[in-house]
Structure 1
Amino acid sequence: MTQEPATPTPDWGPFGKPLFDDPKMRALARVGVVDVGSNSVRLVVFDGAARSPAYFYNEKIMCALGAGLSETGRLNPEGRRRALSAMRRFAALSDSMGISPLTVVATAAVREAEDGPEFCAEVLAETGLKIWVIDGDEEARLSAQGVLLGWPGAHGLVCDIGGSSMELAEVRDGRVGKRLTSPLGPLKLREVKGGKAGRKAHIKAVLEDMHSWLGPQRDRLFLVGGSWRAIARIDMERRAYPLHVLHEYRMTATTIRDTVRFIEESDLEKLRQRCGLSEARMSLVPLAAEVLKRIISTIRPKDIAVSSYGIREGMLYEQMPREVRERDPLIEACRFAESKDARLPGFGRRLYAFVLPLFRNLPDERKRLIRAACLLHDVSWRAHPDYRAELTFDNATRAHLGGMRHWERIYLGVALLHRYRNKREGTHFEDLFNILSEERQGEAEVLGKAMRFGAMLWIHGHEDAAELRWFPKKKQLELRLAPAAAPLFGEVAEARFKALAASLSAETSVRYLSA
């Protein structure tokens, strides 16, 4: 059996030219948004690659503006005082960061309170910040757009719970479809008459009406909002799940029912402390759990994913042109990291072409991870050599990266760990490896060792100086070296080539090509 040489990779591959090379895209590099919610007021400053921004600054104040709104018709006075103080601080911060003006939206509490317009006027007078009060339909749309920021191809139903309301919105083919709002926020549920039985009947009636209007929703359910994230964190605690990253955390109907029962049977204060939740957030969890249990039994989704992206990310998504929205958030984030931190920006693309023959038959979803790993292979070079392997694993598995499932985070982390060391045993990450199947662990190890070897073949201006050929049936790994690359294949490079072959259980051969 013989193998044809690898097909040359197009200049930028299937992902197109990096966004941050375009001055128009750099205008999105730092954007500040404020969400004035019924329970909290939060400032987020996004920074980085236009399609996959990092969280440059993130601050939340639990104000409970919507507490008591159903009874008084007005904003909670203490919450209003705290919210105004937070807005003064956020305005000063934005000025110091040079990102004024902030984009500010307010949701259910401010739009429903009789003194909502007065509060907005007060904020404008004291801070210069204009608050855009959005209706429930717009709130649902922005939350769904936040999900699309993290999952460009998302299909399913977005469920965003705030303090005073809960929104549902369809997403499909990169667009937001039907959406509607409801009074199922925990602060509102506190005021429903009849105790738990009264709440149960109320929640059931509202959700059945929503479901009837939306029609069947059997795809994925995306959970957005602090109360859902708190329940997911408790689910992690109950299951002893090792990776405490809430974005893309998956649950099932069964695990949710088990966790709701776990919450009902637990000492809430002890549970709060174990999970690192605030008192204000934990006070809403039992009410939100009642809603979630009914949602699952009413909608019966195929699966359930937690989204850390919501209305604030949706506000950023709103500013993106369509060509940016359609980009892969993971690849754009990795490209940005390479351009900013690698010693030789651009080499990741060449490294991907070099290692690709080992993974020719993999599906595109895994080739995407291979490309991401190659882009990130050198961004941690400033770290002490003894800690690079663990640092790269930690960054890959815990960073704010969209478009990655948990197993993909571990895959990327294992590959980057092996970029710097041959063995993964002996690290304090071993409990995380079980999230990844043994087959994929082995595949990620091969990728890491291939990058470790390929990184030694830096030759500027010689794209095809070195080439790998892989014959899986023969278990034969061949290295072809052009004259320009031959001097680079010294003792250390040869040892890394053999380590790569050992991971493949392969024999090696080296061919030196003539000029």
Structure 2
Amino acid sequence: MLYGVIDIGSNTIRLMIYRVDNGAIHPVLNNKFAAGLAGYITAKGKMSKEGIRKAVEVLTELRTVTEQITLDGVFPFGTAALRNITNTQEVLDAIRAESGFAVRVLSGEEEAEFDYYGALQSTPLDGGLLVDVGGGSTELVYFTKRKAVLGVSLPIGSLTLYNRFVDGILPSRGEVRKIEAEAAAQIEAARLRIRSGAAKQIVAVGGTARAALKLRNSLEGKSGNSAYETSFYGDFLSQMEMGPEKLTGRILKIAPERIHTITPGVAVLHTVAKTFGCRTVVTSPYGVREGYLYYLLKERGILHGKQP
């Protein structure tokens, strides 16, 4: 069986197709568009007509792709780019009218839950803090003994922080400081609910996490590693401030579409690690898309995934 998942995010819109085999899902196609929908949000919190046209254009193209493949189901969903705007229904109606996709908008709590559910299927989880720095929001899930205890969604993301604080392509030292200050202020509320030091390890999911892992492994001359020390985040930011040429060249080789957002994303990860006293990070290949698919297929009795 083949299933498609369409993830409408603040930075990218992505179609993933998975094969379901022996109680597990396996990715077979990854089609990504750097739509940058967060850049089309007006000062009043509304997605502009240009942004709606961009979303409709990409999803109409993805409809053409899905029609060329025999799929047992296609599940489109939206995250911060659609839930944090004032004209969500207008955007959903336009998407459905033009592309035929009925998009489900996940709440922040649902996004955090599906992040954890996805990571649970692919990564040995005992205890720690799951972190997903997306384009428009950051999800945190504190878990212990393989049980999620608390999940929160924060209104900060790599793209929204870039749009708010950065004037050029790369942030200046002062702009990085402003990003970290904003991240610290947003994370403070979560810190009050999660005891500092209770989570020694970060489980990182999402595009920022994968790009950071690729960059770290590239700089260290390693491959295949999914775990490293959180001190890398501080080293990254220091090098960006002192002389970004080497890092910029590496980023353009491994994740060119993130050249402008990876520094704000790493700044959030660095702030999370400092705030909660996390020393190590492990990067999970699965996150919200896989968690959402597992949830839906389990709900239909097709899979029997591990419980979140």
Question: In which range does the TM-score fall when normalised by the shorter chain?
Answer: 0.7 to 0.9
Shift of 1:200: 2.8
Instruction: Write out per-residue CA displacement over residues 209-238 of structure 1, whole angstroms, 9 at most, x where no aligned residue.
Output: 211112343242111121222222221122
Sequence identity (%): 23
Query: Could you say which structure has the greater relative contact order, defined with CA pairs below 8 angstroms and 6 or more residues apart?
Result: 2
What RMSD in Å do the two structures reach over aligned CA positions?
Answer: 2.5
* AA at the equivalent of 2:255: L
- Unaligned 5+ residue runs, structure 1? 1-28, 328-515
Tell me the residue number matched to 2:45: 73
Counterparts of 1:48-127 in structure 2 under 5 Å? 48-67=20-39, 69=41, 71-75=43-47, 77-99=49-71, 101-127=73-99
Shift of 1:302: 4.7
* AA at the equivalent of 1:228: A
> Which of 233, 237, 242 is the equivalent residue of 2:214?
233
> Which of 12, 18, 39 is the equivalent residue of 1:40?
12
1:160 matched to 2:141: no
SS of the residue corresponding to residue 102 of structure 1 reads strand
**Cα contact 1:36–1:107 (8 A) shared by 2:** yes
Name the CA shift for 1:30/1:153 in 2 (closer, same or farther; >3 Å): same
Shift of 1:72: 4.3
Name the CA shift for 1:114/1:94 in 2 (closer, same or farther; >3 Å): same
Equivalent residue pairs, number: 293
- Unaligned 5+ residue runs, structure 2? 167-173
Name the CA shift for 1:101/1:218 in 2 (closer, same or farther; >3 Å): closer
SS of the residue corresponding to residue 267 of structure 2 reads helix
Name the CA shift for 1:219/1:303 in 2 (closer, same or farther; >3 Å): same
Say which structure is richer in strand: 2
Name the CA shift for 1:76/1:157 in 2 (closer, same or farther; >3 Å): farther
Tell me the residue number matched to 1:324: 304
**Cα contact 2:129–2:142 (8 A) shared by 1:** yes
Which has the higher Rg, Structure 1 or Structure 2? Answer: 1
Counterparts of 1:181-330 in structure 2 under 5 Å? 181-190=153-162, 191-192=164-165, 195-216=175-196, 217-241=198-222, 243=223, 245=224, 249-264=226-241, 265-267=243-245, 269-273=248-252, 275-278=253-256, 280-318=257-295, 319-320=297-298, 324-326=304-306
Instruction: Write out per-residue CA displacement over residues 40-77 of structure 1, whole angstroms, 9 at most, x where no aligned residue.
Output: 11111110424332212111101111125362412255
**Cα contact 1:150–1:309 (8 A) shared by 2:** yes
**Cα contact 1:111–1:133 (8 A) shared by 2:** yes
SS of the residue corresponding to residue 39 of structure 2 reads coil
Q: Distance in 1 between matches of 2:178 and 2:91?
A: 33
**Normalization by structure 2: what TM-score?**
0.85
Shift of 1:316: 1.7
**Normalization by structure 1: what TM-score?**
0.53
Name the CA shift for 1:152/1:51 in 2 (closer, same or farther; >3 Å): farther
Tell me the residue number matched to 1:20: none
Shift of 1:306: 0.9
Instruction: Write out per-residue CA displacement over residues 449-504 of structure 1, whole angstroms, 9 at most, x where no aligned residue.
Output: xxxxxxxxxxxxxxxxxxxxxxxxxxxxxxxxxxxxxxxxxxxxxxxxxxxxxxxx
**Cα contact 1:160–1:167 (8 A) shared by 2:** yes
Shift of 1:289: 1.9
**Cα contact 1:66–1:76 (8 A) shared by 2:** no
Q: Distance in 1 between matches of 2:154 and 2:142?
A: 15
Q: Distance in 1 between matches of 2:216 and 2:42?
A: 31
* AA at the equivalent of 1:210: A
